[in-house]
Structure 1
């Protein structure tokens, strides 16, 4: 399997399933107890998991990609969201758009909650039969796990994805109720990420690059840019592909085997060929230092451009030269502190 195929498969697989932690087992005493299965219906008068699903395009500004990029996901996993479901522990953030929380119900059963805002939807949206606060709602149950998705965009297909792992309870009932409250919160006054000068948290990755530069790198007129989550973008021309991604991380841009490159404007990046003898190169750089993590490493907003060619070798395809040219065009367009 080529590097290009593996790269795209990894993106699809990561978007298809949110597994931010394995389900915690109940204690021995609880396992022998026969607690009543908990079913939490949507709030009276609400529209959580009720039908029919709305048809047509989704024009709700509160759940547009522009609005969702700024939403703080952990703030949505609040005690109010889980009223009648259980008591949540301190939520755990993962990047700008993911968060997880452990919830304990009245019978001391554990519920694992994983939330992704702007998650990619795999499968037909036409499967949505019900609505949540005016949005189509998808629901998929697999044993003690239920994934509830509020569709926020039909093209590209994306939404608010809530995975509930609930042994001995009703994961879909809990998911529907929590989702209704999440979406209601988004329509009121949701907490947002800070927007200090120069941050890329609200930047549309698909609008951050010069299309002419990408077309030259891809060797032909590219397809329309395709968002990958809220902070990434994929641009293709037949097989060659360019991926752009922004994320907060303490991982250094200078990986082992990477070569320093000048990206202009005083920005130094690092270029690295990912797989020997395959035409793929990734350029990574720190856009803005945010602070320090728990290990006293720089926590930064990191940008990445990955060029994945169709055939040849990194040398014959000049993969890193192309990745650097695209990265320079991104650096020139990003906000400055």
Structure 2
């Protein structure tokens, strides 16, 4: 049975959940509390960012179980076992908004709000790496405790720094859980244990980009006309990569999305012919760093749930560059290497 995608649109991005072969019931859809972090130009594995440890081999996970090529196929909802959640309270339905994140908006044993979100391949900041002084399931761990929430991370790779992260949020006032970090540790320990075993995996449909490493899908010859000979690369999570140089940036991301009936992912979207019967949806966004984005639909089901590849080329306002022409060349160079439907 192939992956089925279901959606609920949010104000920021259309979210999707993949139902798994072998699951009696699949996750629904909901917006998580985790904000999307912006990829910053100029950072890469050779930078002086303290989140990068020169002594660690680039791209080498702490354990083979945490290798990126393995994690891309792991179904995150399966990492929060119902039996484990039942020890914390009353689980609700699983909800997912992208390939690597899953939530359960449940109640604890006292009937208080206990929202749990697990994310794999989470890109750690230098501060989070510096604060990884605890231990969870044999891995370095960091905790960030706020009034009614807690973020608990276990480091799975040091260069670039990645982790399995659990976010816990509770009610406020007399509805707050006394220590939101405690359930986070338990869920994180269970998730790491599952990852080291045989976690449930996606059964992607033909044409799905879920297994593709966006950083290796693009070669320097494709980047050079816009960014120069030595662009700096930054991976974000497991499905997004950006390159910067010469006052410009190029980015590729694979993600789930609700596919609009008219193809207008953005109000400014226009359909463009990319050759070979392939069409994309292009939008030029103005501002201090004008950017042209082109979206390609890679899979779509009867309910318009799908997976997309999003290409973007941006540059500072004073840089002479036809951003959309460059974005189209970007797509055409990468497209032959992507899985075909």
**Which range, TM-score by smaller chain?**
0.7 to 0.9
**Per-residue deviation, 1:238:** 4.3
Gaps in structure 2 of 5+ consecutive residues: 1-11, 13-30, 35-54, 171-175
TM-score computed with the length of structure 2 as normaliser: 0.76
Distance 1:178 1:70 in 2: 20
More strand by share: 2
Of 156, 162, 167 in structure 2, the residue corresponding to residue 163 of structure 1 is 167
- Assess if the C-alpha contact under 8 Å between 1:97 and 1:117 holds in 2: yes
Structure 1 Cα separation of the partners of residues 167 and 148 of structure 2: 11
Q: Which has the larger radius of gyration?
A: 1
CA contact (8 A) 1:279 1:312 kept: no
- 2:3 alignment partner in structure 1: none
Match for residue 130 of structure 1?
134
Offset of residue 244 of structure 1:
0.4
Question: Structure 2 CA distance, aligned partners of 1:140 and 1:238?
Answer: 36
Q: Work out the CA distance in 2 between the residues paired with 1:56 and 1:220.
A: 26
In structure 2, the residue matched to 1:15 is none
Shift of 1:21: 4.7
Matched, 1:304 2:310: yes
1:323 lines up with 2:327 in the alignment: yes
The aligned counterpart of 2:25 is: none
1:144 to 141, 148, 170: 148
Q: Residue 213 in 1 paired to residue 222 in 2?
A: yes
How far apart are 1:92 and its partner, in Å? 0.7
Matched, 1:81 2:90: no
What's the CA shift for 1:126? 2.8
Change (3 A) 1:208 1:235: same
Residue 299 of structure 2: aligned partner: 288
Q: C-alpha separation between the residues in 2 aligned to 1:262 and 1:283?
A: 11
Distance (whole Å) between structure 2 residues aligned to residue 265 and residue 183 of structure 1: 44
TM-score scaled by length of structure 1: 0.77
What residue is the counterpart of 1:233 in the other structure?
Answer: 241
Residue aligned with 2:222, SS = helix
CA-based RMSD of the aligned residues comes to 2.3
| Aligned 8 A contact 2:132 2:140 in 1 | yes
Greater shift, 207-216 or 256-265, is seen at: 256-265
Q: What residue in structure 2 maps to residue 204 of structure 1?
A: 213
1:273: which partner in 2? 284
Classify 1:56/1:131 alpha carbon distance in 2 versus 1 (closer, same or farther; 3 Å): farther
> Quick check: 1:200–1:335 contact (8 Å CA) kept in 2?
yes
Bigger mean CA offset, 188-197 vs 176-185:
188-197
State the distance in 2 between where 1:145 and 1:212 align.
45
What CA distance in whole angstroms lies between the structure 1 residues aligned with 2:271 and 2:56?
Answer: 48
Shift, 1:103, TM fit = 2.4
1:190 match: secondary structure: coil
Q: Quick one: structure 1 residues 277 and 259, their matched pair in 2 at CA, closer, same or farther if it must change by over 3 Å?
A: farther
**Richer in helix (by share):** 1
> Size of the alignment, in residue pairs?
280
